[in-house]
Amino acid sequence: MQKITIIGGGAAGLACAIMLARAGEEVTILERGDRLGRKLAASGNGQGNVTNVNMDASHYFSDDLRRVGAALSRFGCAETVHFLSSMGGIFLPDARGRVYPAGRQASAIVDLFRHELARLGVKTILGARVRDISFADGATLTFDTGTMSADKVILCAGGKAAEHFGTDGTAYALAQKFGHTVTPLRPALVKLKSDPALIKGLKGIRVDGALSVLRGGKCIRTVRGDILFTENGVSGDAVFRASSYAEKGDILELDFLPSVSEEALLSALEVGREEPLLCIVPNGLGRLLMRRTSDMGALSHLVKHFMLPVYGDCGFREAQVTKGGIPFSETTEHMESKLRSGLFFAGEILNVDGECGGYNLQWAFTSAFLASEGVRQC
Ligand SMILES: Cc1cc2nc3c(=O)[nH]c(=O)nc-3n(C[C@H](O)[C@H](O)[C@H](O)COP(=O)(O)OP(=O)(O)OC[C@H]3O[C@@H](n4cnc5c(N)ncnc54)[C@H](O)[C@@H]3O)c2cc1C
């Protein structure tokens, strides 16, 4: 039996702990917060979108996408559903392939983990922010309230997004000490800022539309889904997905009616001449569009090509994930550090991030599987 210490009690750390404890290892989780799985409990608008049936590397960003694909083919959507169901619960996809617990409660997933950790006798120490790791005949970890030794360490301390869940980006230093680098970090799956004057009065209006990111006049990505107007920009799952691509200076082209052609739209507008946009777009949006033009041709064009400049994003605090991190290529196929044997990684701390739709929790579980296997094999 090996003594394994896991730094971080988020999705990746919890999954590593259960996989290793089930294999008979002695596992301790050191978590800096006062609860386990805080971010997991808030995921998917509190409903817990744990994975997606449409699972392959094309939904990810990393310095080594080939390895991400290989990892997903070993532990993908089916394996995640099997793993979670092995603790209890039923996990089902929605019409877009996003998998949730049937009870639609993310905090209940954390409860499943907590019960299984207790059943397996995994030790958890809360309020234990790890400040240093050193290696000499095994590892010594120094944390806020003490020190402990371990045969191997898995660093699952997350990234820099949503620091109120304990992830302020300071944990990268634990690996940098051994020579690891950190790629440039950027918030992703985040609201985008635009010109408030262009969307005045639209706050709270939600449209199921299409959104294209234009750079230098060229479309670099089109996504479909919810677009939600905020006071100073746009949010919603289409925007979160587009935020992985969009940069300050780009243009967002919104199509409020992607399944209807401009010609068909024009015919409909001409039927309802007095208030032509009734039952076509939400009334508040219709009023704003009508203030721009009363020409039916220009109006039908505007419904399908509504341009908004990107002024930036809403920052790490509001982001769901971190783009960038410790290069995946600085780890072996077993998720072990190439620079310090005995140190393993899993989760968002690595330079792997996914689109909106369950891909980031999937990465937490996939990397946890590989790291747990690696810890036992190396
Ligand atoms: C609001 C929100 C909603 C989201 N919804 C979804 C969704 O529906 N589907 C999806 O796929 N993804 C979603 N994500 C992203 C997903 O939750 C994360 O990618 C995932 O939780 C990352 O798992 P992790 O274990 O690597 O890191 P985290 O879950 O961030 O866990 C890291 C843990 O490490 C602890 N820690 C940090 N430093 C130290 C230290 N020095 N010592 C000890 N402990 C430390 C932190 O307190 C934290 O508990 C969402 C994110 C947010 C913020």
Residues with CB under 6 Å of ligand 1 are: 7-13, 30-33, 38-40, 42-44, 49, 129-130, 156-158, 161-162, 165-167, 171, 320-321, 347-348, 358-361, 364
Cα–ligand 1 centroid distance for 277 (angstroms): 42
Tens digits of residue pLDDT in 355-370: 999 999 999 999 999 9
Residue 348 in contact with residue 172, Cβ under 8 Å? no
Q: What is the CATH number of domain 3-185+323-377?
A: 3.50.50.60
pTM (2 d.p.)? 0.94
Q: What is the pLDDT of residue 340?
A: 97
Tens digits of residue pLDDT in 22-52: 999 999 999 999 999 999 999 999 999 999 9
Q: What percent of the chain has pLDDT over 70?
A: 100
Q: What is the pLDDT of residue 183?
A: 98
Please state the rounded mean pLDDT for residues 330-336: 97
Cα–ligand 1 centroid distance for 161 (angstroms): 8
Residue 222 in contact with residue 210, Cβ under 8 Å? yes
In the chain, where the domains are located: 3-185+323-377, 192-313
Closest protein CA for atom 5 of ligand 1:
43
**Mutation test of ligand 1: which of 30, 43, 49 has the most ligand atoms closer than 8 Å to its C-beta?**
43
pLDDT score of 324 more than 80: yes
Residue 26 in contact with residue 70, Cβ under 8 Å? no
Q: What is the pLDDT of residue 378?
A: 85
Q: What single DSSP character describes residue 194?
A: -
Tens digits of residue pLDDT in 166-195: 999 999 999 999 999 999 999 999 999 999
Please state the rounded mean pLDDT for residues 77-101: 97
Please state the rounded mean pLDDT for residues 275-279: 90
Tens digits of residue pLDDT in 44-58: 999 999 999 999 999
* Residue appearing with tokens 């393993």: 344
The 3-state DSSP class for residue 160 equals coil
**Mutation test of ligand 1: which of 19, 35, 39, 226 has the most ligand atoms closer than 8 Å to its C-beta?**
39
Closest protein CA for atom 51 of ligand 1:
320
Pairing of strands 26-31, 123-126: parallel
Please state the rounded mean pLDDT for residues 323-343: 97
Tens digits of residue pLDDT in 241-276: 999 999 999 999 999 999 999 999 999 998 876 789
Positive or negative, the CA dihedral 116, 122, 126, 128 is negative
pLDDT score of 348 more than 80: yes
Mean pLDDT of the chain: 96
Residue 324 in contact with residue 183, Cβ under 8 Å? yes
Fold of 192-313: Elongation Factor Tu (Ef-tu); domain 3 (2.40.30)
Q: What is the pLDDT of residue 47?
A: 97
Cα–ligand 1 centroid distance for 165 (angstroms): 7
Same topology for domains 3-185+323-377 and 192-313, yes or no? Answer: no
Q: What percent of the chain has pLDDT over 90?
A: 97
| Strand-pair partners of 313 | 192
Residue 310 in contact with residue 346, Cβ under 8 Å? no
Cα–ligand 1 centroid distance for 155 (angstroms): 13
The CA distance from 98 to 79, in Å, is: 15
Tell me the two tokens of residue 238. 């289409």
Closest protein CA for atom 26 of ligand 1:
347
Atom of ligand 1 nearest to the CA of 157: 34
Please state the rounded mean pLDDT for residues 107-113: 98
Q: What is the pLDDT of residue 275?
A: 84
Cα–ligand 1 centroid distance for 11 (angstroms): 6
The CA distance from 64 to 245, in Å, is: 18
H/E segment holding residue 7: strand 3-7
Tens digits of residue pLDDT in 58-78: 999 999 999 999 999 999 999
